[in-house]
Amino acid sequence: MRLSTYTSALVAAAATCISAAAVTRSVGSVRTVYTFPPNTFVENIAVRSNSNLLITASSADLYSINPKAASPNATVVHTFPNANGIFGITEVAHDVFAVLTGIWDFAITRAELGSLAVWTVNFNTATPKVKKLTGIANSTIFNGIVRHPYNPRLLLAADSAIGAVWRVDLLTGDYGIAFQSPLLAPTETGSLGINGLKAAGTNLYFTNSAQGFFGKVAVNSQGGQVGSIKIVSNSTTGIVFDDIALDKTGSKIGWIASHPAQVIGVADNGSQVVIEDTAKLLNPTSAAFGRGDLTQAKTLYVTNGGEFVGWDLVNGGIAAVVVR
Ligand SMILES: *[C@@H]1O[C@H](CO)[C@@H](O)[C@H](O)[C@H]1NC(C)=O
Ligand SMILES: *[C@@H]1O[C@H](CO)[C@@H](O)[C@H](O)[C@H]1NC(C)=O
Ligand SMILES: *[C@@H]1O[C@H](CO)[C@@H](O)[C@H](O)[C@H]1NC(C)=O
Ligand SMILES: *[C@@H]1O[C@H](CO)[C@@H](O)[C@H](O)[C@H]1NC(C)=O
């Protein structure tokens, strides 16, 4: 996530020399769905059951895009107060999404202390109902967020700064640290530790961008760590792992949006399939499978953070990749 993070995270990856498991390169079919105006850093994605993509970016606006339209366009669902960016987004109940807003400081890749807030956006009514759940007083970054894999009351959030997973009670708004580990922490050269966060079964799946791996860990009903954290697959030199889409039907556990131009499918044994497209995958920040019909379910929607041309960040947007 985030502009200047590109450089710090890339340096971290280059400095880490790791032996990878089997890596297969493949050319996927990649198509551009939508491109935002310049200087929009596109950050995260969630998909509604009606197929519409919900997109967060370096903006106080939450966007919706119908990927099935002849020329998809972004409409604004809601504009949040006290925010210059929306970070994580995840579905917490049918057509109810939690989103994380804050005031981001690009120079230090952290939000202003006290600015983070968790909201819910409920699409079950004709006009989406937006509600503030709570402000977060004592974290500077909630990056990936996900509903607890089996306790519907809890939202879990990846703190890339202190290397922790936080829990937020979706009913009361109470929050605190669920667990913390050196394996979730950033490094001296990479400012973002745990980044993407997804849940399935009794496990959390996550990426650590700075340390360069995709891992998994079991959690108890309160989100606490159970057993040890397993490193499933390491990133290779020059690749920085960002957010993840879990793959519930294929031979992969998930697909990792990776900088500078990849989505990487990872199997349980750590083997990787790399789909690379230097023209259409532009610093991918997150990914999610389409929903609503079979064609959508085969399509991985990838958010492109964008690329710098001089001082301008351009071509932030959405790409569609057929991965199966
Ligand atoms: C896309 O949406 C924006 C904002 O609502 C609007 O200004 C623009 O005209 C739309 N473009 C197309 C091609 O419909
Ligand atoms: C953060 O603030 C919450 C709410 O005041 C408190 O319960 C929790 O202990 C604090 N956690 C940390 C790590 O400071
Ligand atoms: C990942 O890298 C670490 C550190 O170099 C190494 O100990 C571990 O065996 C690697 N794991 C996999 C699954 O490749
Ligand atoms: C790892 O799993 C993948 C997907 O199931 C499979 O194609 C591959 O052969 C396996 N590799 C090894 C070394 O077992």
Going by alpha carbons, the residue nearest to atom 5 of ligand 4 is 251
Ligand 4 centroid, distance to 254 Cα (angstroms): 14
| pLDDT score, position 250 | 78
Residue 210 has which token pair?
A: 């700075």
> Which residues of the chain fall below pLDDT 50?
1-20
| Nearest partner of 289 among 232, 244, 240, judged by Cα | 244
| Nearest partner of 55 among 88, 95, 94, judged by Cα | 88
Distance between CA atoms of residues 280 and 271, nearest Å: 24
| pLDDT tens digits, one per residue of 37-78 | 999 999 999 999 999 999 999 999 999 999 999 999 999 999
E strand map for 174-316 = 175-180, 194-200, 203-208, 213-219, 225-234, 240-246, 254-259, 262-266, 272-276, 284-289, 299-304, 307-309, 312-314
* Residue 85 CB partners (closer than 8 Å, separation 6+): 41, 43, 56, 57, 58, 59, 60, 101, 102, 103, 104
| pLDDT tens digits, one per residue of 101-154 | 999 998 888 999 999 999 999 999 999 999 999 999 999 999 999 999 999 999
Provide the CB-side half-sphere exposure for 108 (13 A, CA).
10
| Nearest partner of 228 among 273, 183, 278, 293, judged by Cα | 183
Closest ligand, as measured to the CA of 173:
2
Ligand 2 centroid, distance to 285 Cα (angstroms): 29
Going by alpha carbons, the residue nearest to atom 12 of ligand 3 is 233
| pLDDT score, position 6 | 38
The rounded percent of the chain whose pLDDT value lies above 70 is 92
Classify 228 as helix, strand or coil.
strand
Ligand 3 centroid, distance to 120 Cα (angstroms): 38
For residue 284, whether the previous peptide bond is cis, meaning omega lies within 30 degrees of 0, is no
Distance between CA atoms of residues 300 and 266, nearest Å: 14
Question: Is residue 138 in contact with ligand 2, taking CB distance under 6 Å?
Answer: yes
Distance between CA atoms of residues 302 and 304, nearest Å: 6
Whole-Å CA distances, 67 to 5, 76, 132, 195: 29, 15, 28, 26
| pLDDT score, position 4 | 42
| pLDDT score, position 77 | 98
Distance between CA atoms of residues 35 and 304, nearest Å: 9
| pLDDT score, position 149 | 98
Q: For tokens 């119908």, name the residue.
A: 66
Distance between CA atoms of residues 224 and 24, nearest Å: 35
Q: For residue 73, give the ligand 1 atom closest to its CA.
A: 1
| pLDDT score, position 17 | 35
For residue 241, the Cα-to-chain-centroid distance in whole angstroms is 10
Distance between CA atoms of residues 252 and 301, nearest Å: 16
Ligand 4 centroid, distance to 22 Cα (angstroms): 8
| pLDDT score, position 10 | 33
